[in-house]
A and B are shown apart, each in its own frame.
Chain A
């Protein structure tokens, strides 16, 4: 039975999973869960992931949430090349360290920019330039730590080859790019790392995964499901405080 991956490529963690599975020729069924249409709130999807989030995995009767857990599961089940999640304990620990640290930093702040610029107006809430400014500042701070602690002068986060850490990092950093926030500008080290990661993934696959987010500027064409809009309103208001 083939693994099912429940994805929306609008979502950063979904892109990491998509890229990882494709790159490693892992056979899977792409189950499209359209976030803007509120599919993640459907009863059907609730059976796959009661947390109502993407990505999710279904492997027979086994369901799994959280992109990092899914990435690790796939790497073990399909015995992917060592560099993705090295068997060397210390290198592995360095991947784990990044994957843990990034939740409350790169991921959270990158999301905040996306939410402020795209979701908030889409949900009919007032756009707050101060919130955006703050989010950008916070991301800048996280990027500084990323460069100084995680990347340093190495080609990739953990040594000489791409790993899950780079993959998870790059998809998050592409989110602000998609909404016009060029975080690679004036950051040559980061830019070079991005190019290296893109090359290691394969330009075509990288572009394919990022097609939706990179074309999100067609905002006027974007619509959000009215029920979802209602659900999001209080959530966003709180987030933007």
Chain B
């Protein structure tokens, strides 16, 4: 039995796992999860079966989040852990997660840092811009979006000045897990129309380089869903679910 990857390509961490597995010809079963269907966001106690919160998925990932991996009886959450596990199990080319201690440390450094910098910033902007209107039936206040975008400026600068510097990729001359995690996160905002790399030509070039190293076709394929994010507006969401999600979203703009 091969591995199963529970993914929704709308989510950046899912895309990094998807791209990595495909690029390295790792055989896996794609278990489609849906974060923002009418089923998403429901509580575990809701009466109708929900996609992400159905009991089947609950057994795979008690945290009820994507991405998740199932390898026989072994289950794993958290994309950095999944990526490292796959790279070691399938002995992928060294550049992804180099054996060299110092290079590996640089990958670890990025994977750790991004949790409290790039990731939450991207999450906030995406939720305000795209998710908020789905459940609250109005757009999020523009000042809140602007504020969130301003907050992104600092980590972006740090990405450029501390992590990328004058190197072609974040950890040297070849693409690594760090680049994959970074680019899939930042693509979330580029795909929904934010020119976040304005006046940052180094990052623009880096993004192109990463896309090329991944392979244009695979990169585009992985980003198809997010690039078509407008389709989410065609979803019919149950009023009950809207009521459940509303408080959380309203809190974000309080």
A97 touches B162 (CB 8 A): no
Which residues of B sit under 8 angstroms from A93, Cβ to Cβ?
74, 76, 81-82, 84-85
| Complex Cα spacing A170 to B139, Å | 42
Contact B161 A100 (CB under 8 A): no
Could you tell me the distance in whole angstroms from the C-beta of A21 to the nearest C-beta in chain B? 15
* Residues in B whose Cβ lies below 8 Å from that of A145: 62-63
Known contacts being A97-B78, A97-B81, is A64 close to B109, with CB within 8 Å?
yes
List residues of chain B with CB within 8 A of the CB of A65. 109, 113
Check B162–A50 contact: CB distance below 8 A.
yes
When distances are taken between beta carbons in the complex, the residues of chain B under 8 Å from A190 are: none
Q: Is A29 an interface residue (CB 8 A)?
A: no
Inter-chain contact B105/A72, CB cutoff 8 Å: yes
The answer for the CA separation of A89 and B254 in the assembled complex, in Å, is 44
Interface centre among B74, B79, B80, B161 (most CB of A within 10 A): B80
For residue A47, CB closer than 8 A to chain B, the reply is no
Q: Which of A101-109, A198-206, A224-232 contacts B (4 or more CB under 8 A)?
A: A101-109
Q: A50-B162, A101-B78, A104-B115 are in contact. Are A96 and B85 (CB under 8 A)?
A: yes
Could you give, for residues 63-106 of chain A, a 1 whenever the CB lies within 8 Å of some chain B CB and a 0 otherwise?
01111111011001100000000000110111011011101100
B109–A69 touching, CB < 8 Å: yes
In the bound complex, do residue B112 and residue A66 qualify as a contact, i.e. CB atoms below 8 Å apart?
yes
* B25 at interface by CB-CB < 8 Å: no
A90 to B111, CA, bound (A): 19
Residues of B within 8 A of A (CB): 62-63, 74, 76-82, 84-85, 88-89, 101-102, 104-106, 108-109, 111-113, 115-116, 119-120, 158, 161-162, 254
Q: Name 11 extra pairs, CB < 8 A, besides A51-B162, A73-B102, A93-B74.
A: A64-B109, A65-B113, A69-B112, A94-B81, A96-B78, A96-B80, A100-B80, A101-B78, A104-B115, A104-B119, A108-B116
